[in-house]
Amino acid sequence: MISENQKPFSESRLRVRYAETDQMGVVYHANYFVWFEVGRVDLLRQLGFNYKDMESQDGCRIAVADARCRYKSPALYDDQILVRTHIRRVRSSMVQFGYKVLRETDSQLLAEGETTHIVTDADLKVTNMPEKYVQAFRAAVERSRVLQGKE
């Protein structure tokens, strides 16, 4: 059995708020990117660190360089959703996260996407991330491959 901090993905549960929807009760498209961030932050915590510590202790930031979302089915007001987040790729100065947004009641895929982040210092100059993060990210990618039977 894989412990919570060894899972290669995180699962964040949210309930669609009225403020996130349009007049028809359908979630406004930009909110998916907010949910991706919730999933990303949860995954980092699960791996044993967080953005705040990356910035304050290591002077390391991960700036979004590219963000994509493919909408499959609408999320509606009051739906309970699950955001599954995993690390797709990692290099010393780049990390890419993948996301799936599902309606929890019926497991309907609502959206999937990815964000690519460039590692920068406090002056926003591209830099390499500390090795402890690279190792944690690579280990999560490897666990994901093993679980998916790709090894």
pLDDT means per 10 residues, the chain with 151 residues, are 63 97 95 98 93 91 97 97 96 97 98 98 94 92 74 48
Fold entry, domain 4-145:
Thiol Ester Dehydrase; Chain A (3.10.129)
The answer to whether 93 and 128 are in contact (CB under 8 A) is: yes
Among the residues of 1-151, which ranges form H helices? Answer: 31-46, 51-58, 131-147
pLDDT of residue 4: 53
The verdict on whether 22 is a catalytic residue reads: yes
pLDDT of residue 1: 37
User: pTM to 2 decimals?
Assistant: 0.90
> If you count them, how many residues does the chain have?
151
pLDDT of residue 2: 45
Domain-wise residue ranges, the chain: 4-145
Distances (CA, A) of 143 to 25, 43, 86, 100, 108: 38, 14, 10, 18, 25
Per-residue pLDDT tens digits for 76-107? 999 999 999 999 999 999 999 999 999 999 99
